[in-house]
Amino acid sequence: MGDHEIVQEGDPRCAELEAAGYRVVAESWAVRLYDPDRELLESAVRRATAGGLSIRELGPESAALLHALEKTNESDYPYTQATHRVVGDLATVRALWPEYRVFGAFDGSRLVGATAIRSHEGFGDTRFTSVLSTHRRRGVAQAVKAASILAFLDIGITRFSTGGAAANVGSLRANESLGYTLTERWRTYQL
What is the pLDDT confidence band of residue 174, given thresholds at 50, 70 and 90?
very high
CATH domain 4-190 topology: Aminopeptidase (3.40.630)
> Is the per-residue pLDDT at 140 higher than 70?
yes
Model confidence over 78-129: pLDDT tens digits? 787 777 778 999 999 999 999 999 999 999 999 999 999 999 999 999 999 9
The 3-class SS string of 62-90 reads HHHHHHHHHHHHHHHCCCCCCCCCCCCCH
- Per the CB < 8 A criterion, the answer to whether 142 and 115 are in contact is no
User: DSSP secondary-structure letter at 48?
Assistant: H
Q: pTM (2 decimals)?
A: 0.92
